[in-house]
């Protein structure tokens, strides 16, 4: 992202079954950061009849007239049977089809009010080959062999 919105914080994260049916204002992570392959976080086996897809999508849109504007303060991946960390919300269903979002894992997000935060997550990427995050990024966890990484940034003033 080479524009002015690059440093803006994420305001929401979701998972969709169809990358072309993201909610308004959301961008799907369709390709991996390191080798530009498909960033599908639900890897089916070779012998399945109907292919399942899952894509992580995010938004930086601030809803007009919102009473409280939340930003993404942290992201983590936990196993299905693990307890969701305190203050985090799991993404359990796809936003577009209301199906189970992930297999054996949960993507968890911690939201905080923008006016109480100094920094927040401003970028989210998926790695397919690398297991170590690029400089400036932290690792949220692994989903079906893909490494989910995020980058913090100082929240710019609203205006």
The pLDDT tens digits for 56-70 are: 999 999 877 777 789
Q: Do 40 and 15 form a contact (C-beta atoms < 8 A)?
A: no
The domain tally of the chain equals 1
Task: Give pLDDT, residue 48.
Answer: 59
Residue 48 lies in a domain: yes
pTM for this predicted structure: 0.91
3: confidence class by pLDDT, cuts 50, 70, 90 = very low
* Angle value at C-alpha 102, between 21 and 55, nearest 5 degrees: 30
Tell me which residue range forms the domain holding 137: 4-154
Task: Give pLDDT, residue 63.
Answer: 78
Cα–Cα distance, 142 to 126 (Å, whole number): 9
CATH of residue 135: 2.100.10.50
Cα–Cα distance, 101 to 91 (Å, whole number): 7
pLDDT tens, 92-115? 999 999 999 999 999 999 999 999
Residue 159 lies in a domain: no
Residue 39 lies in a domain: yes
Burial of 33 (0-12, 13-18, 19+ CB in 10 A): buried
Q: Is the per-residue pLDDT at 78 higher than 80?
A: yes
């Amino acid at each position: 992202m080479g524009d002015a919105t690059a440093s803006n914080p994420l305001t929401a994260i979701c998972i969709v079954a169809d990358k072309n049916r993201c909610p308004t204002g959301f961008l799907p992570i369709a390709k991996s950061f390191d080798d530009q392959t498909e960033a599908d976080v639900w890897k089916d086996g070779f012998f399945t009849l109907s292919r399942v897809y899952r894509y992580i999508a995010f938004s930086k849109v601030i809803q007009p007239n919102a009473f409280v504007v939340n930003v993404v303060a942290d992201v983590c991946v936990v196993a299905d049977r693990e307890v969701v960390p305190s203050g985090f919300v799991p993404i359990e269903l796809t936003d577009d089809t209301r199906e189970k979002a992930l297999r054996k894992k949960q993507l968890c997000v911690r939201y905080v009010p923008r006016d109480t935060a100094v920094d927040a997550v401003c970028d989210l990427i998926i790695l397919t080959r690398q297991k170590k995050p690029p400089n400036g990024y932290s690792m949220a966890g692994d989903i079906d062999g893909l490494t989910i990484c995020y980058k913090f940034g100082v929240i710019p003033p609203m205006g």
